């Protein structure tokens, strides 16, 4: 669970807790920067967190108050990597020969690659963060799986098929997973 704190002088803070089955909260960390998962928060709240961060940096107040916050639907984000799941997720290199994102289903692709991009051993092999949003968790997972399936991507080994299999697995769809899944 993440909570947003507001202040005129500080950027949005990510305060992370674990929620135990008995309802107890356990503090994990405070992040004073925008988290890489911020598209999930943006999808379910309708807020543009980057815009808000820039407003605060300019000395302006946040454009919303606590009572304006709410959640709508479910969002899921995956990280598409140039890596080989059959080789213990070792990074893969190569040139991206085809990179064609389908218009349907509509999901958010945050990426800096395109056809012709080289994936070298010198940088993080993440190709994209892909986020889906839907009324239910199952719909969000299946929409994300379909978007990944429709992505035309050739030239390097990726974890795409692994992600699709996870998103469509019965255990994941039922929420019957933990970090050892």
Residue 119 scores a pLDDT above 80 = yes
- Note if 33 is an active site residue: yes
Residues 78 and 131: their CA atoms lie apart, in Å, by 7
The DSSP symbol for 85 reads G
> How much is the pLDDT for 13?
59
Look up the pTM and report it. 0.80
Which is more confidently placed, 25 or 150? 150
Residues 91 and 4: their CA atoms lie apart, in Å, by 34
Question: For 9-90, where are the alpha helices, taking DSSP H only?
Answer: 38-45, 49-57
Residues 12 and 34: their CA atoms lie apart, in Å, by 7
Q: 67-102: per-residue pLDDT in tens?
A: 999 999 999 999 999 999 999 999 999 999 999 999
Our measurement of the distance from residue 45's CA atom to the centroid of its chain's CA atoms, rounded to an integer in Å, reads 14
Catalytic entry in 33, 87, 95, 106 = 33
């Amino acid at each position: 669970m993440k909570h947003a704190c507001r202040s005129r002088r500080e950027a949005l803070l990510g305060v992370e807790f674990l929620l135990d089955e008995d309802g107890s909260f356990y503090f994990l960390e405070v992040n004073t920067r925008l988290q890489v998962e911020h598209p999930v928060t943006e999808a379910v709240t309708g807020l543009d967190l980057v815009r808000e961060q820039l407003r605060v940096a300019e000395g302006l107040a946040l454009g919303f108050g606590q009572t304006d916050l709410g959640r709508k639907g479910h969002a899921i984000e995956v990280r598409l990597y140039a890596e080989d799941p059959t080789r213990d997720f070792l990074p893969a290199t190569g040139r991206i020969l085809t990179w064609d994102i389908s218009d349907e289903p509509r999901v958010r692709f945050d990426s800096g690659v395109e056809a012709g991009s080289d994936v070298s051993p010198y940088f993080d092999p993440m190709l994209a963060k892909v986020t889906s949003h839907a009324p239910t968790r199952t719909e969000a997972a299946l929409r994300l799986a379909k978007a990944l399936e429709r992505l035309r991507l050739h030239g390097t080994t990726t974890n795409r098929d692994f992600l699709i299999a996870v998103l469509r697995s019965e255990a994941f769809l039922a929420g019957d997973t933990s970090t050892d899944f």
